[in-house]
Amino acid sequence: MVEGHWLEFALNVWRAQQRGEARRESLARKRHDGEVTGARMPAMNTSLPLDRAALWERFQLKAGFAENAPVEARALFEAVCAAAAPTDLLAMCEDAGATLAQEHGALERRLDELQRWSDILATILDEALADQRDTLLAAHQLLRRTSLAIAQALTRGYERERLRIESDAERQARQESGRLRALQSVNSVANSALHVDQTLNAVARAVAEELDADLCAIFLFDETTRELLLRATNGPAPRSGRYFTRTLGQGYTGWVGEQGLPLQVADALADPRFAEEASAYSTPYRGLLAMPIIFFTMERLQGVIAVQTTAPRAFTEDESRFLEIVAGQIAMSIENSQLFAHTDQELRRKVHEMGTLHRVSALVASSLVLEQVLQMIAEQAVLLSGAERSALFVIEPADQQLRAVATHGFEDTVAQRATLPLGQCCAGRVAQSGEASMRVDCMRTDAGCFLHDLPAATGDLHLALCAPLVTTHGHLGALCVFGSQRHTLNQGQAQMVTTFANVAAIAIENARLYEETREGLRVKETLLREMHHRVKNNLQQVASILRMQRRRTTDAVAKQILLENIGRIAGIAATHDLLSNVELGRARMDDIARKIVGIVQANLIPLDQNIDFDVEAMPIKLPSEQATTFAIIVNELIANAIEHGFAGRRHGEIRLSAETLDEWIVFRVVDDGQGLPEGFNVQKAGSMGLRLVRELTESELHGEFTLFRTIAPPDTTSGADAPQRWTVAEVRFPQSVTLHDADEDNELTEETPASTLDALS
């Protein structure tokens, strides 16, 4: 149909416009005569000879309209059938196209409907004007042009609205992109490691730039003073300076902080409630948008952020949402900052507490001066628990009374020397039950409290926390701390006092165990000394008997044997004499060696022989069993050197020394005598003395014995020009049987170095 051709052209125009091909649209319009402008509806000079009501009824029936026909269908019918078409119908069609675009409808479907309506109307016209050919042709021509005009109007309205929607969407996208970049910038700053003031200043600058505001001010809420303090702006400061505060309800900042609600005022300077704060700057500000900074997880006010302009301004809903998001980010940043500061402070406090506990524990382990340890515990318990005074009570075993053995903060001597029966006062009840107690104002309400009749000592004290001193052996007392708080301490503080009470209990237990151990050691030491003394006396009697036999015998060999045995017994007796005068039956190796040297000099060395002895310092202690064995070995080695090394000589030198090598003790007897015979083997030596040394070393000391010859360089200090030859008798045995003098430094003593105590202060 002809009408279909014109409608197809209209669709082509719409598609060209949709793709932005305006040039093709212009060329397409020039191909057709009888152009229809976008502002005019074509019309005939005279109206058609038709019954409009009947025609509309037929058109409505065929098109399937219920009651309200679409604007395009009404416009098409009116333009064809009216004597003069209304000029506003095309504008209505353009509006219909715009509405279609707003509702995201399909333009092609609407144009197909328009073509269908045009076809229906053409059919109706054919039937109504079948006998009026000229009029029918004119009606069809008008129908074609009207259909095209309506299609163009729909397309124009649709395209214009789509362009507007796209433009708005693009503008909104650009705005949202800018908002997103601004929020990312704010978030980046808020999560940075900057100081809180630097963070807030950076946020204020970013917000002011994004919202094109002249001022962005950020106030933080101080829960102590209940004030909002100006902490950051993008540049301008109040005339009064940076320290600018608002109480809750004062000005627009105080109003937002008190109400917890956003506030938007187009002209704050004109509002009497806010004019004073709006004019607090050198340049008055009018446009205002303020938002509370609230940490919603805990519903806690943290501050207020406000943006202002010098000119009156109504901020948009989008700008308000943006500022609300920024306020939420600031709230999280402040909360994280406060949480970090609190965590850091708590960590430092814990480290300090652990360090103090470590030092107190070290003092307990290193000192047995109980009074000093308990006094230090009383002081540190006050410092770490946040209390002000403390008293440490110990149960006296004799009368089961509590006695104050250490106090801190009390100047009243009655409080310092207080005594209590078990079960009386918080301290007595805690010491009896073994359960901690925390009460407020018990020193005023409890008549049995040791502070009840001491108002000067009580002062402004209200809180009393008592922790028991308990060990596996029972209850030992109680540690009480007192503070001015009218509320109970937190769990950490209470646990700290309990920990100090446990340390005090350990200190008391250690001191008592030490005293018991010392008493037992004193008894054992006395018995050991008495035993060694009696053994010495018995050995001396045996030696006396052997001397009597030696004097009576005439056999030279027997006399020599008796003399050697007398020397051995005298050495053993001398060792027991030494052990009877030292602590816990331990004797130094050099002391034993000197004793033996003295006995040998008195009994074995002839009057015409001069032998020099050099006993080096040997700060190694031997228990009584090894000491006796060592004395016999020393005696035999010296006797062997004198008998075999210096036979026929008038002068000689014997040196005795010892050293530790790894886990071994190496004892040497060195002489400058004649030396060892050719092919000498200590394992096959027939000398009784050497066999005795070897067997005692291996069986008693679990060591080894060697005998060898060595050459030393010339001693230039004495003027000698020839090397010296020495015979070395070496006894090597494990160090596990000895106790070095250095171990005495680690023994428990009653005195504690002052430096140990000073480290705790």
- DSSP for 421-444, please give it: ETTSHHHHHHHHH---EEEESHHH
| Distance of alpha carbon 221 from alpha carbon 223, whole angstroms | 6
pLDDT above 70: percentage of residues in the chain: 74
| Distance of alpha carbon 242 from alpha carbon 260, whole angstroms | 24
Dihedral (Cα; 133, 138, 141, 146), 10-degree rounding? -130
Structure tokens at 181: 């970049």
| Distance of alpha carbon 751 from alpha carbon 567, whole angstroms | 43
Residue 228 has pLDDT above 90, yes or no: yes
Q: CB burial class (10 A; 0-12, 13-18, 19+) of residue 351?
A: exposed
Query: Is residue 196 located within the same domain as residue 151?
Result: no
Mean pLDDT of 711-740: 70
> Which tops the pLDDT comparison, 114 or 526?
114
Structure tokens at 598: 């003295």
- Mean pLDDT is highest, among 168-172, 342-346, 391-395, for 391-395
Paired sense of beta strands 704-712 and 651-661, if any:
unpaired
Query: Is residue 195 located within the same domain as residue 164?
Result: no
| Distance of alpha carbon 479 from alpha carbon 487, whole angstroms | 19
CA atoms within 13 A on the CB side of 735: 14
Query: Is residue 335 located within the same domain as residue 372?
Result: no
Query: Is residue 333 located within the same domain as residue 400?
Result: no
pLDDT confidence band for 745 (50 / 70 / 90) = very low
183 within domain boundaries: no
761 within domain boundaries: no
Residue 597 has pLDDT above 60, yes or no: yes
Query: Is residue 300 located within the same domain as residue 443?
Result: no
pLDDT for res 36: 38
Query: Is residue 425 located within the same domain as residue 321?
Result: no
Contact 162, 137 (CB under 8 A): no
What are residue 332's DSSP bridge partners? none
Contact 274, 251 (CB under 8 A): yes
Of 280, 308, 343, the last residue of a domain is 343
SS3 18: helix
Q: Which residues make Cβ contacts (< 8 Å) with residue 444, sequence separation at least 6?
A: 452, 458
Contact 504, 377 (CB under 8 A): yes
223 within domain boundaries: yes
Q: Report the amino acid identity of residue 377.
A: I
Structure tokens at 546: 């052997």
Contact 450, 415 (CB under 8 A): yes
| Distance of alpha carbon 74 from alpha carbon 82, whole angstroms | 11
Give the max Cα distance, the chain. 188
535 within domain boundaries: no
Query: Is residue 658 located within the same domain as residue 734?
Result: yes
204 within domain boundaries: yes
Q: CB burial class (10 A; 0-12, 13-18, 19+) of residue 751?
A: exposed
Structure tokens at 151: 């299609």
Query: Is residue 337 located within the same domain as residue 374?
Result: no
Reported as a single tens digit per residue, the pLDDT across 185-212 is 666 655 655 567 787 888 888 888 888 8
pLDDT for res 37: 40
Dihedral (Cα; 485, 491, 492, 498), 10-degree rounding? 90
Q: Report CA 79 to chain centroid distance, whole Å.
A: 84
pLDDT above 90: percentage of residues in the chain: 13
Of 458, 485, 517, the last residue of a domain is 517
Contact 91, 71 (CB under 8 A): no
Q: Which residues make Cβ contacts (< 8 Å) with residue 127, sequence separation at least 6?
A: none
pLDDT for res 553: 81
- Mean pLDDT is highest, among 558-572, 580-594, 611-625, for 611-625
pLDDT confidence band for 61 (50 / 70 / 90) = confident
Show the 3-state SS of 304-348. EEEEEECCCCCCCHHHHHHHHHHHHHHHHHHHHHHHHHHHHHHHH
Reported as a single tens digit per residue, the pLDDT across 104-150 is 888 888 888 888 888 888 888 888 888 888 888 888 888 888 888 88
Query: Is residue 8 located within the same domain as residue 107?
Result: yes
Please tell me the total count of domains within the chain: 4
End-to-end CA distance of the chain: 111
Show the 3-state SS of 504-568. HHHHHHHHHHHHHHHHHHHHHHHHHHHHHHHHHHHHHHHHHHHHHHHHHCCCHHHHHHHHHHHHH
448 within domain boundaries: yes
SS3 420: strand
pLDDT confidence band for 306 (50 / 70 / 90) = very high
Query: Is residue 266 located within the same domain as residue 297?
Result: yes
Q: Report the amino acid identity of residue 706.
A: T
Query: Is residue 137 located within the same domain as residue 20?
Result: yes
CATH number at residue 337: 3.30.450.40
CATH number at residue 639: 3.30.565.10
Residue that has been written with the tokens 């051995």 in this structure: 568
Domain that holds residue 499: 367-517
Say which range, 14-28, 165-179, 487-501, has the weakest mean pLDDT: 14-28
Structure tokens at 404: 């104050």
182 within domain boundaries: no
680 within domain boundaries: yes
Query: Is residue 204 located within the same domain as residue 330?
Result: yes
> Which tops the pLDDT comparison, 287 or 412?
287
Mean pLDDT of 679-683: 75
Of 463, 497, 517, the last residue of a domain is 517
Residue that has been written with the tokens 């060694």 in this structure: 532
